Amino acid sequence: MPGPGARSSAGFVERLAAARIGTTYNFYRDGERAPLLRERLRAYLEERAGANLILVAEAPGYRGTRISGIPLTSERQLGGEGPSEATASVVHRALAELELEASVLLWNVVPTHPGGERSNRRPTCPEIEAGLPYALALARGRRVVTLGRIAQQALGGDYLRHPAHGGASEFRRGLQALRLPRGPLRSGEAPCGAASIVRSAGTACAVLPGPSHEDLQRQDRRDHA
């Protein structure tokens, strides 16, 4: 069965909390909510230990993961209050409609937030390289599906259209077309159609094109959750 167990989940979260990924904000280490966010992430990883697919976006957003501690998830989705995040809402709605929530582990290539309290920015190549080992560790034994071009270029795997800016329907259709099995893996079962991971931390940025200023602005709005 893929994914860390209880003890390794705690160790994974501890390593992530100690990480310094460029100039990104590590909300698992810094701020008064850091202990809560670490505990949330540990519990989430344990709950999704049997997930046969990992859905990976680019980086946390200031209205989503930075506050909730759970990738591609807003605080409002967890407790009914607090900020909401458009991409997180679309992703969770589609997973629920297709009965895939228990089958999917959500993650970001860069697990800490590039940006300020009220802003996002595109992560730098060194930040992508520093964050990639965490994604690779969680991807082991799972089918990899990437959300947006930046994540796809960094990790490989199946590509899904990012749901922002009119992409929600295409995202849902793409997710449905993958024909994913519902529910967690049973012990000893291999993930259906598992994609091989061909990237490494040292080569991830070699495949990333140099963005224009307009590209950076569009990606900042689209690829954070």
**For 65-110, how does the pLDDT look when each residue is reduced to its tens digit (9 = 90+)?**
999 999 999 999 998 888 999 999 999 999 999 999 999 999 999 9
What's the topology of domain 6-222? Uracil-DNA Glycosylase, subunit E (3.40.470)
Alpha-carbon distance of 120 to 168, in angstroms, equals: 21
**For 128-175, how does the pLDDT look when each residue is reduced to its tens digit (9 = 90+)?**
999 999 999 999 999 999 998 889 999 999 999 988 888 899 999 999
Asked which of 11-15, 60-64, 207-211 is least confident by mean pLDDT, the reply is 207-211
Alpha-carbon distance of 44 to 131, in angstroms, equals: 19
Percent of the chain at pLDDT above 90?
Answer: 67
Q: What is the pLDDT of residue 109?
A: 97
Alpha-carbon distance of 156 to 204, in angstroms, equals: 10
Q: What is the pLDDT of residue 178?
A: 83
Neighbours of 148 (CB within 10 A): 25
**Mean pLDDT for the chain?**
83
Phi first, then psi: what are they for 39, rounded to 5°?
A: -65, -40
| Confidence band, pLDDT 50/70/90 cuts, at residue 219 | very low
Asked which of 34-43, 64-73, 84-93, 203-212 is least confident by mean pLDDT, the reply is 203-212
For the record, the structure tokens of 148 come out as 């947006």
**Dihedral of CA 210/215/217/223: which sign?**
negative
Q: What is the pLDDT of residue 98?
A: 92
**For 167-187, how does the pLDDT look when each residue is reduced to its tens digit (9 = 90+)?**
899 999 999 998 666 655 444
For the record, the structure tokens of 39 come out as 């505990």
Q: What is the pLDDT of residue 151?
A: 94
Q: Is the pTM here over 0.85, yes or no?
A: no
Helix, strand, or coil (residue 138): helix
Buried b (16+ CB within 10 A) or exposed e, 168-207: beebbebbeeeebeeebbeeeeebeebbebebebeebbee
In this structure, the strands spanning 143-147 and 53-57 are parallel
Q: What is the pLDDT of residue 205?
A: 62
Q: What is the pLDDT of residue 210?
A: 43
Alpha-carbon distance of 90 to 15, in angstroms, equals: 30
- Domain residue limits, the chain: 6-222
